[in-house]
Chains A and B, each alone.
Chain A
Amino acid sequence: MFGILASVIDGILVGAVYGLAAMGLTLIWGVMNVINLAHGAIIVIGMFLLYVIVYSLGLHPYVAVPAMIVFGFVFGIVLYWIAVHRVIGQPELMSLLSTFAVNMVLIGLGTAWWSTSPYNVPVSMPSVSWQSYTFTGTHIAAAIMAVVIAGLLYLLLYHTRIGKAVRAVANNREAAELTGIPTTQVLAMAFGLGVALAGVSGTLIATLFPFTVLSGEAYQLKSFVVTVLGGLGNPAGALLGGVALGLIEGMATPFMPVNWIPVIEFGLFILCLIAFPRGIFSFTKA
């Protein structure tokens, strides 16, 4: 019994971080109808920023969290002007191709710079023991930070003028433009936010597990599953979706071989697409 509970808690802790990653993907989709295929590569940037902060600059690992938010935001805006701005409003295939190209460029540069070998940044934190199970401090810290960052995003989107503008553009870009909202700048900012979220989730994942330049792909896939669970374009749903995914993983593992978990995950993904095409946690009507 304790085993199942421990497994569920572990699942939820990691799920919160997956949720954060998916928020980045879903925010960009919700505001500008762009599926960002560079999402995985951006997660990897977050991972390597942690490595650089710890090993090149000798700073505390968690300095990388605010650093990645700032860097990710600026990088996202630059990326928007280079690769996304011109394909907004075009058929969706255009933005898929464009962000996929960015993905290839980033992975290519990363491979040339760091190769595809595994990297690891050991972060030591006091852990919490319960019965014979131990929950590592890094997992707890990562989950707390993921929830805090998600909360801050919520405040930004629902309690500031900027957030209102973002939501207005997401709802109806033309109407927003008519009321005097500088929609292009808002789009750029939203893309920056999405990139910052993806990047910082990468940083948090790297405090838990080893990573390579190619690690992004696995987390990008998880983000897609989470987004579909939580509803495309719904940031709060994404966080819930992440936690739900973690919960399902945690509940399933004690009862089946661990290598069956992806089957459950993607089975759920397909079920969700059929039964709840707008996501389980989406409250808008299809």
Chain B
Amino acid sequence: MRKALYLLAATLLFAAAPAFAQDTITIGFTASQTGKLNNDSTSQMRGIEMWKDDVNARGGIKAGGKSYKVKLVSYDDESANNRVQQLYTRLITQDNAQFLISPYSSGLTATAAIVSEQYGKVMITTGAALQKTYKLGNKHLFQVYTGTGGYLVGTLQALLEKNKHPRVAFVFEDDPFSKAVANSVRNEAKKRGVDVVVDEAYASSTTDFSPIINKVIAGKATALLGGGHYADGATLARQLHEQKANLKWVTLLVAPDSPHFAQQLGDAADGISTPSQWEPQAAFKPDFGPTPAAFAKEFTAKFKIAPGYHAAGGYAAGIILQHAIETANSIDPNKVTAALNKMDVTTFFGHTKFATDAKDHGLQIGHQMVLAQWQKKGGKLVKEIVWPDAAKTANIIY
């Protein structure tokens, strides 16, 4: 009799299991665990994973009277476009991902967006600033980052406040993101009559920058704005230091934001600035979710390294999707899309609002960037916010 009862209990348990299993939301993405985008992409992935752990620890995402546990499915895209195309198709058709988060970088995201739109999946993009992707009539794509237009225009303003007549060198990676950033700052420089003495693009795989650095020296440049992603940016910064390029101002895209930058480059990182989507010292008062300080503390405790803006962007993508599902009170993609369209909130990552007109739907129009600089304080390199004045934590070293 007792045996039969056990059997009955076991059968009931198994029968009940699918009911629990249904209350999960599958969110798919790829990360560049290998390849040239590995450094920043890994940070972004850690941000997404930390968000998942946090939301599951609090009982999951609440919608329609249910609590959904978050299940992440992710693959290594090897920093390669063809892998992204295959893997996002796989995430949608085989892994049945209900929502998507973008891979890291504008280039990979542009590829992923084609697949996600084809299948009508909501995709929150992070680490993908290129504005062009959001001007192609996409309906389910939402950008967390400030677009490429916002990267260096502020930096140029900050530079001109320090020196009215700088001799500027533009040295940018030859990829869609950096080219778009370069175009907007080039136009701004032209408008303001800035003296541009070098304007060079380099291939993403470049490891020897000495020909370009020689040109920068020959052109007697006093300021350099450029870079692209981590691997090339870190190499450029190191070689500028080794070849004593004698610049008063160096702003590079993306690379200097990572804490690895200062760890790996040491003195070569001193004085280098970067336009940043987010810094832990930011004073935002979030409508929901952690404060910037709480996020930074938890991230540092978990991964033994301070978060840069890529990590924060990963977490922000998660929390924005979560908020949209909870506001829509449904996991229906159309309702979630409508909630994202209406969203106008402040999180630990800053202000978030998406453009809703057809011509640039999903483009980020709320978020703003700051300029951060590595400065040596008591023998240690510290990243300080140096511009704009409203957000600064230290004066810029020029």
Report Cα–Cα, A111/B244, bound state, in Å.
Answer: 35
| Known contacts A3-B217, A254-B218; A211/B207 CB under 8 A | yes
Indicate whether A253 sits within 8 Å of B238 (C-beta atoms), given known contacts A2-B218, A259-B202: no
- Among A78-86, A90-98, A125-133, the stretch that binds chain B is A125-133
What's the nearest-Cβ distance from chain A to residue B76, in Å?
Answer: 9
A249 and chain B: residue at smallest CB distance: B211
**Contact across chains for B214 and A254 when beta carbons are under 8 A apart:** yes
Knowing A10-B210, A259-B202 are in contact, say whether A134-B243 is a contact too (CB < 8 A). Answer: yes
Chain A 107-151 per-residue mask, 1 if CB under 8 angstroms from chain B, else 0? 000010001111010100001010011101001000000000000
- B34 near A127: Cβ-Cβ < 8 Å: no
In the complex, which of the residues A116, A249, A257 contacts B201, with contact meaning CB atoms closer than 8 Å?
Answer: A257
A116-B34, A136-B242 known; A7+B214 contact, CB < 8 A: yes
Contact B214 A253 (CB under 8 A): yes
A258 touches B200 (CB 8 A): yes
CB proximity of A150 to chain B, nearest CB, Å: 21
Cβ of A6 under 8 Å from chain B: yes
The smallest C-beta distance from B83 to any residue of chain A, in angstroms, reads: 11
Q: Give the complex CA separation of A122 and B174 in angstroms.
A: 25
Is the pair A259, B214 in contact by a Cβ cutoff of 8 Å? no
A212 within 8 A of B: yes
Complex Cα gap A16–B235 (Å): 22
Interface size of A in residues (CB-CB distance below 8 Å): 37
Does B242 lie within 8 Å of A127, measured CB to CB?
A: yes
B339 at the interface (CB under 8 A from A): no
From 200 to 220 in chain B, residues with beta carbon under 8 angstroms from any chain A beta carbon are: 200-203, 205, 207-208, 210-212, 214-215, 217-218
* Residues of the B chain whose Cβ atoms lie less than 8 Å from the Cβ of A10: 210-211, 214
Task: Say yes or no: is A208 at the interface (Cβ < 8 Å to chain B).
Answer: yes
Query: Which residues between 1 and 60 of chain B lie within 8 Å of chain A, taking CB atoms?
Result: 33-36, 38-39
In the assembled complex, A70 has its CB within 8 A of some CB on chain B: no
Q: Please tell me if B281 contacts chain A, counting CB pairs below 8 Å.
A: no
Whole-angstrom distance between the alpha carbons of A172 and B358 in the complex?
74
Residues of chain A lying within 8 A (CB to CB) of residue B214: 3, 6-7, 10, 133, 253-254
Interface positions of A from 181 to 230, Cβ below 8 Å from B:
208-212, 215, 218
Quick one: closest B residue to A8, CB to CB? B214
Known: A10-B211, A115-B34, A116-B35. Is A134-B264 also a contact (CB below 8 A)?
A: no
A215 to B206, CA, bound (A): 10
What residue in chain B is nearest A5 (Cβ atoms)? B214
Closest residue of A by beta carbon distance from B200: A258
Report B237-263 residues with CB < 8 Å from chain A CB: 238, 242-244, 246
Which of A120, A133, A258 is the one whose CB lies under 8 Å from B243?
Answer: A133
- Chain A residues near B246: list those with CB within 8 A: 132
Closest beta carbon of chain B to A158's beta carbon, Å = 33
B243 to chain A, nearest CB (A): 5
Given contact pairs A3-B214, A127-B242, A211-B207, A257 touches B200 in the complex (Cβ within 8 A): yes
A257 to B170, CA, bound (A): 12
Nearest to B218 among chain A residues (CB) is A3
Chain B residue contacts of A254, Cβ below 8 A: 214-215, 218
Question: B233 to nearest A CB, angstroms?
Answer: 11
The answer to whether residues A117 and B35 also contact, given A7-B211, A7-B214, A132-B217 and a CB cut-off of 8 A, is yes
Interface flag for B78 (CB, 8 Å): yes
B264 contacts across to A, CB distance below 8 A: 120
A116 touching B78, Cβ below 8 Å: yes
Please encode chain A, from 252 to 264, with 1 for each CB lying within 8 Å of some chain B CB and 0 for all others: 0110011101100
Residues of B within 8 A of A120 (CB): 234-235, 264
Q: Does A250 sit at the interface, judged by CB under 8 A?
A: yes
B129 at the interface (CB under 8 A from A): no
Instruction: Judge whether A14 is part of the interface by a CB distance below 8 angstroms.
Output: yes
Residue of B nearest to A4 (CB): B218
Q: Are B231 and A218 in contact (CB under 8 A)?
A: no
Which of B38, B200, B243 has its CB near the most chain A CB atoms (within 10 A)?
Answer: B243
Chain B residues with CB under 8 Å of A133's CB are 214, 217, 243
Chain A residues within an 8 Å CB radius of B202: 258-259
Contact of B36 among A7, A118, A132, A134 (CB under 8 A): A118
CB distance from A21 to the nearest CB of B (A): 14
Residue of B nearest to A131 (CB): B217
Once the chains bind, are B243 and A118 in contact (CB under 8 Å)? no
Can you report 10 A-B residue pairs in the complex whose CB atoms are below 8 A from each other?
A7-B211, A7-B214, A10-B214, A111-B34, A120-B235, A133-B217, A210-B234, A257-B200, A258-B212, A258-B215
Which 10 interchain pairs have the tightest Cβ spacing?
A: A3-B218, A209-B207, A115-B34, A253-B211, A117-B38, A118-B231, A134-B244, A134-B243, A116-B34, A10-B210
B residues contacting A by CB (< 8 A) are: 33-36, 38-39, 78-79, 174, 200-203, 205, 207-208, 210-212, 214-215, 217-218, 231, 234-235, 238, 242-244, 246, 264
Q: A210-B235, A212-B36, A259-B200 given; name 17 further pairs at CB < 8 Å.
A: A10-B211, A11-B211, A111-B34, A115-B33, A116-B34, A116-B36, A116-B78, A116-B79, A117-B38, A117-B39, A127-B242, A129-B244, A132-B217, A134-B242, A208-B208, A209-B208, A218-B205
